[in-house]
């Protein structure tokens, strides 16, 4: 009996063990299957992530930036002529103005770049920059840029309007380089490191017609700058500067003359088929960090040369505009910017533009020398305050006090014009 | 117009000089984020009126934040580039202030089971540029090398590229990960992986000994070798500010450079500058 009971218990126990073993094996197999399944899912997710990453890496090369400048302006009188955003309407001396609405698209493939910048304001959408940049891969120091882009002259042209402290460029640059850009190609040598990292050379060939306008002659304008940048990091002082040149020609219109407005008592006439457009300039920028206060910069630029313009304008001669008026000009500006902490900046700027250095005062406006309002010298003292709200938004309050040369022989310029302008601007940039 | 001008000037000045808070924001290098957090925690525990906020994102992200004014201090595991200094000049009229706050031995990570113990700089360059694809080319098993690295916003990525690769491009098959801890984690799970990053993160993996060239002795990234300069991939860790510091920020930086602050550098696994 006992043996039977023992045998029964043994068989029962064994059958239970076998059953348990079968369950355990089945469970183990099930866990392995689950692990394989999860592993497969993880591998699938990894593949998806890698695929997304390659897409994301490509998208990272696309960079979009831009800024909007909206402003309120008040001038001394209705219809004031101004270079601070354009002349005021004839019946208004206050206005709201959307000065710039820029958006810039860049595909940055490190050694090559595609760039397009548009300006969208109520008066329309215009192209500002469209160019391709290619950099050599060996030293990464030499690059070629072709398309529509800033002319490589001086300092102020390439200083972005979104960063500039004064709302507008100097009258000098607005007159000589309207729109700042031109169609052409340039070579730039700018070593990123090494013994010559302080050097920067730019040399380009351009149509000379400004911005996106078609070429009108077979003369290409040569524009270049040799610059230096000396950082003294231990003392937190930097000295930058450069020498620039513009050597171009403009074609005179068929049957038209070149009028050289270069004397109080008369003028010279030439029938040369071209007139020289020659500028020589120099710029210097000093930066220094004042302890417990903030950094300051003192920047200045001087340009002189020959400018082929029109009878009523000292801007560059456009073909189809009649006789070419050739004038010797001079201009400069000095800007002082003081950072106060990291949020506030104070700026004071003085600029002078004399479109005709051979004439002054009452000599201007005489029929005998063919001078006009285009020969009047201007000086502007501007000062303002900038508050950086955050990384995107800044407010600018700026006042331009404009003085002009007077001449009793020009009825509109017998006295200083009422053309001072106050600007209050808010800018959003990203 | 004079009334408008006066009102706007007064308004802007009052607005512009609002009272500043005693909050210091620190942003940048992921390599330095643990160190920066330790500094912040200990400093805040002893200076109750100061709030130090630390975030990572990478050296490039930190420098961008410094330029656009969204951080007081930028942590960077690489020196600032000329192009970045130019941007600082335009915004702050300064070159920025550089503070060397620690030293780091940039380590090369291998899986614990990997029989390869040492690599020359040339071999590392070969691996990361794609010339060397199999471990048997550097004395290891016949297995494909799985390469991990950092994203291009990382200062470690830039430093490794400039210093070890001599400016050459990384192989396109390198798997870029968002932080040094992620690189360590990936290498610890992959027998045939290689990665790089700061020594302070080297947990669960083996650090390769590095040789300047085939004839040089191999050095591991330990404190003696990094301090002496024998370890070939040694770098400074930096803090950048837009201009010379004052007030609470100056006191914080002075404390970081003090023996107490530098002692934390050692505890985290980096090396003091003094």
Q: Determine the pLDDT at residue A24.
A: 63
DSSP labels, A174-217:
HHHSTTSEEEEEEEEE--SSSTTTTEEEEEEEE-SS-TTPPP-S
Give me A29's structure tokens.
């197999």
Q: Determine the pLDDT at residue A21.
A: 55
The β-bridge partners of B134 are B144
Contacts of A149 (CB under 8 A, 6+ apart): A115, A129, A131, A181, A182, A186
Nearest CA in chain B to A285: B93
Chain B residue numbers touching A292 (CB-CB < 8 A): 244, 246
Instruction: Find the distance separating the first CA and the last CA of chain A, reported in whole Å.
Output: 95
Dihedral of the alpha carbons of A322, A324, A325, A331, in degrees to the nearest 10: 120
Q: Determine the pLDDT at residue A213.
A: 83
Give me A103's structure tokens.
């958006």
The larger pLDDT score, comparing residue B180 to residue B100, is at B100
- What's the average model confidence in pLDDT over A276-305? 95
Chain B residue numbers touching A287 (CB-CB < 8 A): 89, 93-95
How is domain B105-234 classified at the CATH fold level? D-Maltodextrin-Binding Protein; domain 2 (3.40.190)
pLDDT bucket at A1, cuts 50 / 70 / 90: very low
Give me A189's structure tokens.
């040598």
Residue A427, pLDDT above cutoff 80: yes
Q: Are strands A393-404 and A421-429 parallel, antiparallel or unpaired?
A: antiparallel
Q: Residue A81: phi, psi to the nearest 5?
A: -75, 135
- CA of A341 vs chain B CAs: smallest distance (Å): 8
A346 and B CB contact within 8 Å: no
- CATH superfamily membership of B23-103+236-268: Periplasmic binding protein-like II (3.40.190.10)
3-class secondary-structure state, position A268: strand
Q: Determine the pLDDT at residue A40.
A: 84
pLDDT tens per residue, range A111-143: 999 999 999 999 999 999 999 999 998 888 999
Integer Cα distance of A368 and A356 in angstroms:
16
The β-bridge partners of A207 are none
Q: B182, B172, B60: which is closest to B109 by C-alpha? A: B182
Residue B141, pLDDT above cutoff 90: yes
Give me A213's structure tokens.
């306008």
Is ipTM strictly over 0.85?
A: no
Q: Mean pLDDT, chain B, as a whole number?
A: 89
pLDDT tens per residue, range A7-36: 555 555 555 555 555 566 667 778 888 888
Residue A270, pLDDT above cutoff 50: yes
CB-CB contact of A214 with A189 (8 Å): no
- What's the average model confidence in pLDDT over A196-216? 90
Residue B153, pLDDT above cutoff 90: no
pLDDT tens per residue, range B184-239: 999 999 999 999 987 666 677 999 999 998 899 999 988 888 888 889 998 899 99
Where in chain B do CATH 3.40.190.10 domains reside? 23-103+236-268, 105-234
Would you call B246 and A422 a contact, using CB atoms and an 8 Å cutoff? no
Choose the closest CB to A342 out of B5, B12, B69: B69
CB pairs under 8 A between A and B: 103
**Strands (DSSP E) along chain B, which ranges?**
23-28, 51-57, 73-76, 97-110, 118-120, 146-150, 175-177, 193-198, 206-207, 209-211, 234-241
- What's the average model confidence in pLDDT over B167-171? 88
Q: Determine the pLDDT at residue B19.
A: 47
Contacts of B12 (CB under 8 A, 6+ apart): A385, A387, A395, A397
* Segment 9-38 of chain B within 8 Å of chain A by CB: 9, 12-13, 15-17, 20
Q: B22, B31, B25, B4: which is closest to B180 by C-alpha? A: B31
Would you call B167 and A140 a contact, using CB atoms and an 8 Å cutoff? yes
Residue B2, pLDDT above cutoff 70: no
Integer Cα distance of A319 and A215 in angstroms:
10
A344 and B CB contact within 8 Å: yes
Among A241, A294, A348, A384, most B C-beta atoms within 10 A, so best to mutate, is A294
Alpha helices in A243-331 (DSSP H): none
Residue A412, pLDDT above cutoff 80: yes
Would you call A295 and B243 a contact, using CB atoms and an 8 Å cutoff? yes
A77 and B CB contact within 8 Å: no
Contacts of A76 (CB under 8 A, 6+ apart): A93, A418, A419, A420, A421, B1
Q: Determine the pLDDT at residue B135.
A: 96
pLDDT tens per residue, range B37-93: 999 999 999 998 899 999 999 999 999 999 988 899 999 999 998 889 999 999 999
Nearest CA in chain A to B99: A234
Dihedral of the alpha carbons of A264, A270, A276, A278, in degrees to the nearest 10: -10
Q: A249, A375, A384: which is closest to A316 by C-alpha? A: A249
Would you call B243 and A236 a contact, using CB atoms and an 8 Å cutoff? yes
The larger pLDDT score, comparing residue A333 to residue B215, is at A333
- CA of A295 vs chain B CAs: smallest distance (Å): 5
Chain B residue numbers touching A299 (CB-CB < 8 A): none
Instruction: Judge residue B140's burial from the number of C-beta atoms within 10 Å of its C-beta, 0-12 exposed, 13-18 middle, 19 or more buried.
Output: middle
* Segment 374-393 of chain A within 8 Å of chain B by CB: 385, 387-388, 390-392
What is the share, in percent, of chain A residues with pLDDT greater than 90?
Answer: 74
Q: Selecting from 2.40.160.10, 1.10.3720.10, 3.40.50.2300, 3.30.70.20, what CATH number does the domain A68-429 have?
A: 2.40.160.10
pLDDT bucket at B11, cuts 50 / 70 / 90: low
**Strands (DSSP E) along A216-372, which ranges?**
221-232, 237-251, 258-260, 268-270, 274-290, 294-309, 324-340, 344-354
Parse chain A into domains and list their residue ranges: 1-60, 68-429
- What's the average model confidence in pLDDT over A54-80? 93
Would you call A236 and B244 a contact, using CB atoms and an 8 Å cutoff? yes
Would you call B82 and A343 a contact, using CB atoms and an 8 Å cutoff? no
pLDDT tens per residue, range B15-31: 555 444 589 999 999 88
Chain B residue numbers touching A78 (CB-CB < 8 A): none
Q: Determine the pLDDT at residue B1.
A: 59
Would you call B93 and A296 a contact, using CB atoms and an 8 Å cutoff? yes
A122 and B CB contact within 8 Å: no
Would you call B70 and A236 a contact, using CB atoms and an 8 Å cutoff? no
Write the CA distances from A117 to A114, A128, A164, A377, B152, integer angstroms: 10, 5, 18, 34, 26
Nearest CA in chain A to B2: A422
The larger pLDDT score, comparing residue A47 to residue B137, is at B137
């Amino acid at each position: 009996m006992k043996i039977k009971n023992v045998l029964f218990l043994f068989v029962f126990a064994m059958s239970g063990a076998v059953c348990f073993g079968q369950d355990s094996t089945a469970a183990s197999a099930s866990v392995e299957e689950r692990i394989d399944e999860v592993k497969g899912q993880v591998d699938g997710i990894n593949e998806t992530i890698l695929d997304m990453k390659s897409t994301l890496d490509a998208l990272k090369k696309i960079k979009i930036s831009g800024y909007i400048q909206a402003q309120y302006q008040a001038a001394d009188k209705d219809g004031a002529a101004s270079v601070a955003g354009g002349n005021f309407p004839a019946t208004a001396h206050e206005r709201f103005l959307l000065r710039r609405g820029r958006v810039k698209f860049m595909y940055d493939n490190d050694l090559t770049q595609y760039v397009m910048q548009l300006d969208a304001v109520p008066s329309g959408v215009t192209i500002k920059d469209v160019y391709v940049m290619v950099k050599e891969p060996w030293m990464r120091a030499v690059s070629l840029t072709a398309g529509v882009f800033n002319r490589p002259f001086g300092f102020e042209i390439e200083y972005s309007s979104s960063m500039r402290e004064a709302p507008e460029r100097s009258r000098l640059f607005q007159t000589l380089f309207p729109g700042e850009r031109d169609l052409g190609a340039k070579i730039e040598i700018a070593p990123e490191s090494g013994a010559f990292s302080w050097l920067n050379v730019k040399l380009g060939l351009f149509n000379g017609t400004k911005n996106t306008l078609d070429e009108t002659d077979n003369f290409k304008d040569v524009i270049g700058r040799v610059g230096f940048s000396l950082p003294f990091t231990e003392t937190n002082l930097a000295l930058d500067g450069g020498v620039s040149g513009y050597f171009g020609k403009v074609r005179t219109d068929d049957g038209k003359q070149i009028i050289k407005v270069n004397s109080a008592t008369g003028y010279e006439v030439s029938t040369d088929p071209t007139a020289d457009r020659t500028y020589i300039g120099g710029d210097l920028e000093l930066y220094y960090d004042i302890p417990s206060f903030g950094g300051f910069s003192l920047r200045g630029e001087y340009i002189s040369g020959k400018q082929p313009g029109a009878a009523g304008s000292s801007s560059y001669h456009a073909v189809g505009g009649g006789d070419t008026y050739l004038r010797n000009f001079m201009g400069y500006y000095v800007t002082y910017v003081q950072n106060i902490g990291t949020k506030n900046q104070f700026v004071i700027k003085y600029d002078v533009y004399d479109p005709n250095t051979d004439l002054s005062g009452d000599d201007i406006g005489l029929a005998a020398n063919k001078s006009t309002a285009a020969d009047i010298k201007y000086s502007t003292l501007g000062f303002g305050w900038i508050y950086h709200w955050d990384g995107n938004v800044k407010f600018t309050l700026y006042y331009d006090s404009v003085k002009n040369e007077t001449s009793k022989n020009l009825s509109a310029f017998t006295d200083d014009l009422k053309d001072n302008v106050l600007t209050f601007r808010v800018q959003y940039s990203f | 117009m004079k009334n408008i001008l006066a009102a706007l000037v007064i308004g802007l000045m009052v607005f512009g000089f609002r009272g500043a808070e005693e909050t210091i924001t620190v942003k940048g290098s992921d390599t330095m984020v643990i160190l920066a957090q330790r500094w912040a925690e200990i400093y805040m525990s002893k200076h109750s009126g100061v709030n130090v906020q630390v975030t990572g994102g990478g050296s490039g992200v930190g420098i961008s934040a410094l330029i656009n004014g969204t951080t007081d201090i930028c942590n960077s595991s690489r020196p600032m580039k000329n192009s970045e200094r130019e941007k600082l000049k335009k915004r702050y009229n300064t070159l920025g202030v550089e503070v060397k706050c620690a030293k780091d031995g940039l380590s090369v990570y291998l899986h614990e089971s990997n029989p390869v113990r040492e690599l020359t700089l040339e071999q590392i360059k070969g691996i990361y540029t794609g010339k060397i694809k199999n471990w048997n080319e550097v004395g290891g098993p016949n297995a494909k090398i799985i390469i991990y690295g950092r994203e291009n916003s990382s200062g470690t990525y830039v430093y490794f590229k400039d210093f070890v690769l001599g400016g050459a491009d990384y192989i396109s098959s390198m798997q870029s990960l968002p932080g040094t801890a992620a690189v360590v984690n990936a290498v610890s799970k992959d027998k045939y992986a290689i990665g790089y990053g700061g020594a302070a993160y080297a947990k669960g993996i083996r650090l390769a000994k590095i040789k300047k060239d085939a004839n040089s002795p191999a050095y591991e990234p330990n404190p003696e070798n990094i301090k002496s300069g024998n370890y070939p991939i040694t770098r400074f860790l930096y803090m950048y500010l837009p201009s010379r510091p004052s007030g609470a920020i100056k006191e914080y930086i002075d404390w970081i450079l003090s023996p107490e602050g530098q002692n934390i550098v050692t505890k985290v696994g980096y090396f003091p500058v003094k």
